[in-house]
Structure 1
Amino acid sequence: MDKIAVLIPCYNEEKTIGKVVDDWKRELPEAIIYVYNNNSADRTAEIALEHGAIVRNEYMQGKGNVIRRMFREIDAECYIMIDGDDTYPAENGREMAKLVLEKQVDMVVGDRLSSTYFEENKRPFHNMGNTVVRNSINTLFKSDIRDVMTGYRAFSYEFVKTFPVLSKGFEIETEMTIHAIDKNMYVENVIIEYRDRPEDSESKLNTYSDGFKVLRTIFRLFRFYKPLGFFSIIALILLALSVGFFIPVFAEYLRTGLVLRIPTLVVCGFALIAAIMSVFTGLILSNIQEKGKRDFEMELIRLHDTSKR
């Protein structure tokens, strides 16, 4: 098992990957640096090899697919995940590794948003999107994560080996964050100095399509991790519809003593039944989720014991 593994997912980063590898070899000379090449059409893999990194390939396109491969193949006491575009400083790497190795932190988040991100990043919709995603997750999951979508993180062995990678693309960071919050894992924030990409380096992010994927991921994970809250919201909406349909029928009944809008009353009844069913669905799924958390804790204990042998 490696002591520290630096994981760099890459797709067409020949302009910056050499500097990134050199920076990490300087800051953490004891670390093993892995570059995972994701079907690059340029010299990314060749340059990474020239600068002393271990290069492996993932042929399924997408950052989530690359991270799945990394987490499966590499065993280390501490993992540091960094992008290959030279936007994150290697100087914070040792501090983040110490938090994992000495304080047993499960995930260290490289917080861009509390420092230079909004000044350095030239894409205003990205700035707004990061703020919306952070506020949404902290509100829905009652957390204090300062940067949800950062690609600069450090992980413990237990986190990596128990994290189920489901996302295929850039929404993977959101999935990691929500997993750590839900499983009550130890999370720390470290403020980092973000710098924008060099002028001749092109971002792979699509503001609108990737932003939509992230929001869809939040919606899906909220339903999965907080089923009682999710289905209670649906129940409240259905209850409001039921009451809205019932009020004119009841008002007419008080005025005339007759129920003349039978179809409306039927719709009112169906909406009320659906609201009740939604509440019970949330309760059942919440109990299943609670059992899943207990099973997860037992898996953590087993994994911890195995890693210490």
Structure 2
Amino acid sequence: MDKIAVLIPCYNEEKTVEKVVRDFRAVLPEAVIYVYDNNSSDRTVQLAEAAGAVVRHEYSQGKGNVLRRMFREIDAECYILVDGDDTYPAESAPEMCRLVLEHQADMVVGDRLSSTYFTENKRPFHNFGNSLVRLSINCLFGAKIQDIMTGYRAFSFAFVKTFPVLSRGFEIETEMSIHAVQRNMQVENVVIEYRDRPEGSVSKLNTYSDGAKVLGTILKLYKNYRPFGFFTVIAVVLALISLLFMMPVLTEYFVTGLVPRFPTLIVCGFVMIAALMLFVAGVILSSLLGKDKRDFEFRLQEAERWKQDAMQH
């Protein structure tokens, strides 16, 4: 088991990967630095090897797929995840590692938004999107994470070995943040100095399509982790619609004793039944979620025993 593993997912980062590897070797000389290449067509692999990194490959395209491979293959007491585009300062890594190794943090977030991100980043829709995602998750899940979409994080062994990677692309950061909050893991924020990509380095993030995937991921995870709230909101909306259209029919019945709009009454009745079924589904799924949380605590204990056994051998 490594003491510290620096994980760098890369796709066509020949402009910056060598500098990133050398910077992290300088501040974390005891760390093993892994570069996971994701089908690069430039000199990313050769430059990473020349800088002293251990290079491995993931052939399924997408950052989520790369992280799945990393988390599956590497055992370490502390993991540092950083992009290979040289936008994050290596100087913050020792403090992030300290919080994991000495302060028992499960995830440390490199917070760009509290420092230089909005001035350094030249893409206004990215600025808006990051603020929107942070507000959405902190409100929906009761979190206090300052930067949801950052690619600079530190993790404990327990987090990495119990985190189910479901996303394939850039929405993986959102998934990790929500998982940590929902599973009551210790999350710390470290303010970092963000810098924009150097000239000639191109972002792989598509503002609109990847932004839509991130929002879809938030909605999906809210349904999975907060089923009572999710289905209750839908049930209330359907019930209000049913009552809105049913009231004139009932009023006319009480006045005249007639029901001239019988189809409306039938449809409203079915809509109300659907609302009640959704509410019951939310109650049932919420109960199942409680069992899932208990099972997860046992998985955390198993991961800790696995870690102790690996360190002893």
Q: Normalising to structure 2: TM-score of the pair?
A: 0.98
Q: Tell me by how many angstroms 1:251 deviates.
A: 2.2
Counterparts of residues 60-209 of structure 1 (less than 5 Å):
60-209=60-209
- Tell me if structure 2 keeps the 8 A contact 1:110–1:153: yes
> C-alpha distance in 1, partners of 2:132/2:16?
29
1:226 corresponds in structure 2 to 226
> C-alpha distance in 1, partners of 2:100/2:295?
24
Q: Tell me by how many angstroms 1:253 deviates.
A: 2.1
Q: Tell me by how many angstroms 1:256 deviates.
A: 2.1
2:8 corresponds in structure 1 to 8
> C-alpha distance in 1, partners of 2:65/2:303?
23
> C-alpha distance in 1, partners of 2:132/2:266?
40
Count of residues in Structure 1 that have an aligned counterpart in Structure 2:
309
1:269 corresponds in structure 2 to 269
Q: Tell me by how many angstroms 1:258 deviates.
A: 1.5
Q: List per-residue Cα deviations over 1:132-170 (Å, max 9, x = no partner).
A: 111111111011111101000000000000000000000
CA-based RMSD: 0.7
Tell me the amino acid that sits aligned with residue 129 of structure 2: G
2:299 corresponds in structure 1 to 299
2:48 corresponds in structure 1 to 48
Q: List per-residue Cα deviations over 1:206-251 (Å, max 9, x = no partner).
A: 0000000001111111111111111001101111111111111122
Tell me the amino acid that sits aligned with residue 15 of structure 2: K
Counterparts of residues 212-291 of structure 1 (less than 5 Å):
212-291=212-291
> C-alpha distance in 2, partners of 1:206/1:86?
19
Tell me the amino acid that sits aligned with residue 213 of structure 1: K
- Secondary structure of the 2:280 match is helix
> C-alpha distance in 1, partners of 2:256/2:113?
62
Choose 241-250 or 164-173, whichever is displaced more: 241-250
> C-alpha distance in 2, partners of 1:78/1:253?
70
Tell me the amino acid that sits aligned with residue 67 of structure 1: L
Q: Tell me by how many angstroms 1:38 deviates.
A: 0.4
- Tell me if structure 2 keeps the 8 A contact 1:245–1:267: no
Q: Tell me by how many angstroms 1:106 deviates.
A: 0.2
> C-alpha distance in 1, partners of 2:91/2:47?
22
2:29 corresponds in structure 1 to 29
- Secondary structure of the 1:35 match is strand
Tell me the amino acid that sits aligned with residue 132 of structure 2: V
Q: Tell me by how many angstroms 1:267 deviates.
A: 1.1
Tell me the amino acid that sits aligned with residue 14 of structure 1: E
> C-alpha distance in 2, partners of 1:65/1:90?
24
> C-alpha distance in 2, partners of 1:125/1:303?
40
> C-alpha distance in 2, partners of 1:83/1:306?
28
- Secondary structure of the 2:55 match is strand
- Secondary structure of the 1:108 match is strand
> C-alpha distance in 2, partners of 1:305/1:69?
22
Tell me the amino acid that sits aligned with residue 60 of structure 1: S
1:58 corresponds in structure 2 to 58
- Secondary structure of the 2:102 match is helix
Q: Tell me by how many angstroms 1:199 deviates.
A: 1.5
Choose 247-256 or 22-31, whichever is displaced more: 247-256
Tell me the amino acid that sits aligned with residue 88 of structure 2: Y
Tell me the amino acid that sits aligned with residue 214 of structure 1: V
Choose 299-308 or 205-214, whichever is displaced more: 299-308
Tell me the amino acid that sits aligned with residue 288 of structure 2: I
> C-alpha distance in 2, partners of 1:16/1:146?
26
> C-alpha distance in 2, partners of 1:26/1:303?
31
Q: Normalising to structure 1: TM-score of the pair?
A: 0.99
